[in-house]
Structure 1
Amino acid sequence: MNGSALHKTAADCAEELPGAQLEHPFGPDWEVYKVRGKVFMLMTEVPGRPVVILKADPDEADALRQQYNHITPGYHMNKKHWITLESGEDIDKELVRELVTDSYRLVVTHLPRAERPVDPHTYGTGTRAAR
């Protein structure tokens, strides 16, 4: 997958998520996706390379970094809880969509129950059960 496809796939997925909003708090070079005011995805270019920065469970983040050459610690974020995705032959649309949805669900899990746009334990796992 090339860089523009990486950004398009991630953005398309994020825009389908209930309650997701795109903001530009750091200027036009950063696309920041939030749910209920909490960041779950950032997109920018790091010296000319498109990247997607996502929240990840620390154990899963470590496993992903070991398994994929194009997944590294979160750029300008907490390296334990965030990953950076770059385009590459081992990165496909399904993986990008899965990681974006996982990041969203992690953020929703930490929202007060009344603010959750979806049930994070069931959303995106086959049954799209809303709260």
Structure 2
Amino acid sequence: MVDSLDYIKAEQYLLNKPETTLDFPFGEDVKVFKVKNKMFATLAIGKMGKGDGKSDTSKKVDWWMNLKCDPDEAVMLRDIFPSIIPGYHMNKRLWNTVILDGSIPQGEIERMIDNSFKLVVAKMTKKEQQSILIRL
């Protein structure tokens, strides 16, 4: 597998969110990040671990990250960044796929991760939310 700086930074940021666990329910090629057993992000090489469809292994292969998103913001982000597309294998209204090709500033990637995390936490019970939000 190919490790890019964007991927390494994104994975570290995801794992540093409170009560985050890493799971592999879709196989070893797809990393699933959960908070209190609820998915808020995935990371895989290309299309869910299958690559970008490029047969030449010498070409750059990008990591793809799925993040939950407000529907209006999801569309806006897709208009702004060519490397943000509707969520691959996800509800395309509520999820975006962020292609970590170096074209999106790290601060924007972190903001999108934060929003995905908060959207998932917001659907939890008040007690679960408090145990997480107190650590943000």
Q: How many residues align?
A: 121
**What is the CA distance between 1:92 and its match in structure 2?**
1.8
After TM superposition, the score normalised by the length of structure 1 is 0.84
Q: Could you say which structure has the larger radius of gyration?
A: 2
Letter in 1 for 2:20: A
Which runs of 5 or more structure 2 residues have no equivalent in the other structure? Answer: 53-61
Residue 94 (structure 2) aligns with? 81
Give structure 1 regions of 4+ aligned residues with deviation exceeding 3 angstroms.
none
Question: Alignment RMSD, CA only?
Answer: 1.9
Once the two structures are aligned, what percentage of the paired residues are identical?
31
C-alpha contact 2:68 2:96 (8 A) present in aligned 1: yes
Which structure has more RCO (C-alpha within 8 Å, separation ≥ 6)?
Answer: 1
Q: TM-score, normalised on structure 2?
A: 0.81
How far is 1:3 from its partner?
6.5
8 Å contact kept, 1:6–1:87: yes
1:93 is displaced (CA, Å) by: 1.2
Instruction: Tell me the alpha carbon deviations over residues 65-122 of structure 1, each in whole angstroms, 9 at most, x when there is no partner.
Output: 0010100000100000000011235312111111111100100000111112333xxx
| Partner of residue 97, structure 1 | 110
Q: Tell me the alpha carbon deviations over residues 2-28 of structure 1, each in whole angstroms, 9 at most, x when there is no partner.
A: 962222121111111111111111111
> Aligned match of 1:56 in 35, 57, 69?
69
